[in-house]
Chains A and B, each alone.
Chain A
Amino acid sequence: MSEKHINIKLKVWRQKNKSASGKMEDYSLSGVSTDMSFLEMMDTLNEKLTKENKEPVAFDHDCREGICGMCSMHINGRPHGPLKGVTTCQLHMRSFNDGDTIVVEPWRASAFPVLRDLVVDRTSFDRIQHAGGFISINTGAAPDANAIPVPKVNADEAFLAAQCIGCGACVAACKNSSAMLFTSAKVSQYALLPQGQAERSRRVEAMVAQMDKEGFGACTNTGACSAECPKEISISHIARLNRDYIAAKSSSEAV
């Protein structure tokens, strides 16, 4: 596809800090290369704002290659914008047309408070992970790779779950701000492997309890999470979480 240059209008959420009330602000950018990534376009906007002695737009980003999960923009009403299975950093301006108005907002959830502009605090995800998203073993020297045999199908399914990059798009897309897709991916990646069995019940109980405590909503199975997830995590993991939760609650030692 050959490079083009387009003129766009932007509506961006601006908010000074956590307690300030924010608002949408209008900007326009001309001559935006369609080969630019969305974040490069935001960089261009920020250069322009800096030259005008205005405060640049704060946004999260790190790897810019779709693996870290930091970039988190709600673009034209969808987390990570219009493409399927793509993070904001991997979205390019060729997905937009000349004259488009692009609305850019932060993730919206009480468990993801806005820190500034488009930056939200996603440590609630970390706390869910810390509650049980691990296996307790003495690490020592690296064990032999095939010491514990794992069937290929199980390994594949576990890896599909482990693809979750913790970006939070599932929460952002869900009308209930539910974190079920994230939590189910983190529960599944261990539930499918032999190493995860010892703490399986304790893990799911603790992670669900933490998820509720953080104030995420309850899942109503709309499927929006999976449709917007850049790693296309399946809602079959949510069903596994539900099964594991029933099993854990009815049989674990924790009374």
Chain B
Amino acid sequence: MSWISTTFTSSLGKKFIVALTGLFLCSFLMVHCGINSLIFLNDGGLAFNAGAEFMITNPVIKLMEYVLFLGLIAHIVQTLMLAYQNKKARPVEYHTSNGAANSKWYSRSMTLLGTLILIFLILHLSHFWASKVTGHLAASGETMFEEMKEVFENLWVVIIYVLAQGALGYHLLHGFQSAHQTLGLNHVKYNGLIKGVGTVLAVVLPVLFAAMPIVIYLGIIK
């Protein structure tokens, strides 16, 4: 085996991929959240539609969409492989285990939180991405904002979207810091910053995302 394959099949190599793709997905979330937050301007979706139009038609962004899916798949596949390996590393469970004494519950539940996010993501893509790919959106002449209002008419959808943001928040709260640690970025000068940025992201992104379906459902944003 060459050094490249030994590196990326080692436990550390797999983790580097999870960390790098995780941080990449964070950057996507920031862009996504930024553009969607344009709805809060309450201008009938004008600015938001323009932003969405740019994201759909810009060739660089189109290319990034493929990179994004590749990144997402790599993040999931690598984590599942690691989770399987980790499960195998303890064939007999403890009779009594007090994890709360030494670590945070969300740090120990990243696979579960990630799975919840994935389930949400499938639903989310079926709501907003499928109509774009099938050309339904273009054919119906509907704007992204109109489609958004339609989807968020349903109370259940709103509830699921809001709950999913809770999972995302805790996933980020551990994930952002953890990715830096995995890449070896642990240094007294920057640890505070990494922790701070991670916490801000874990709060601000989910809160904004969760606010979107709520304000639309309540008719605050029209």
What residues make up the interface of A, taking CB atoms closer than 8 Å to B? Answer: 11, 13, 24, 74, 76-78, 82, 103, 105, 108-111, 114, 173, 175-178, 208-209, 211-212, 215-224, 227-228, 235-236, 238-246, 249, 252, 254-255
Contacts and interface: CB of A to CB of B under 8 A. Distances in A.
B38 to A, nearest CB: 35
B181 A238 contact: yes
Contacts of B85: 217-218
A176 B93 CA distance: 11
A216 B99 contact: no
Contacts of B181: 221, 235, 238-239, 242
Interface stretch (B11-19, B24-32, B46-54, B116-124): B11-19
Specify the main secondary structure of chain B where it touches its partner.
Answer: helix
B101 A221 contact: no
B86 to A, nearest CB: 4
Given A175-B108, A178-B89, 17 more contacts: A11-B95, A78-B102, A105-B95, A109-B89, A110-B91, A173-B102, A175-B90, A217-B85, A220-B86, A220-B178, A224-B108, A227-B101, A227-B103, A235-B181, A244-B184, A249-B3, A255-B2
B94 interface: yes
B90 A105 contact: no
B10 interface: yes
Specify the main secondary structure of chain A where it touches its partner.
Answer: mixed
B107 interface: yes
Interface of B: 2-3, 6-7, 10-16, 82, 85-86, 88-99, 101-104, 107-108, 110, 174, 177-178, 181-186
A212 B11 contact: yes
B191 to A, nearest CB: 9
B89 A105 contact: no
B103 A222 contact: yes
Contacts of A227: 101-103
A76 to B, nearest CB: 6
A178 to B, nearest CB: 7
Contacts of B97: 77
Nearest to B82: A218
Given A77-B98, A78-B101, A254 B3 contact: yes
24 contacts: A13-B95, A78-B98, A78-B101, A82-B101, A103-B95, A110-B91, A173-B102, A175-B103, A212-B10, A217-B82, A217-B89, A220-B82, A220-B110, A222-B108, A235-B181, A239-B184, A240-B184, A241-B184, A242-B183, A246-B16, A246-B184, A249-B7, A249-B13, A255-B2
A20 to B, nearest CB: 12
Contacts of B186: 235-236, 238-240
Contact of B12 (A78, A242, A255): A242
Contacts of B2: 255
Contacts of B90: 108-110, 175-177, 217
Contacts of B95: 11, 13, 24, 103, 105
Contact of B94 (A108, A110, A221, A239): A108
A56 to B, nearest CB: 20
Nearest to B188: A236
A218 B98 CA distance: 20
A236 B12 CA distance: 16
A119 to B, nearest CB: 15
A255 B5 CA distance: 10
Which of B90, B94, B97 gathers most chain A CB within 10 Å?
B90
Given A222-B108, A227-B102, A175 B12 contact: no
Nearest to B179: A221
A219 B89 contact: no
A215 B88 contact: yes
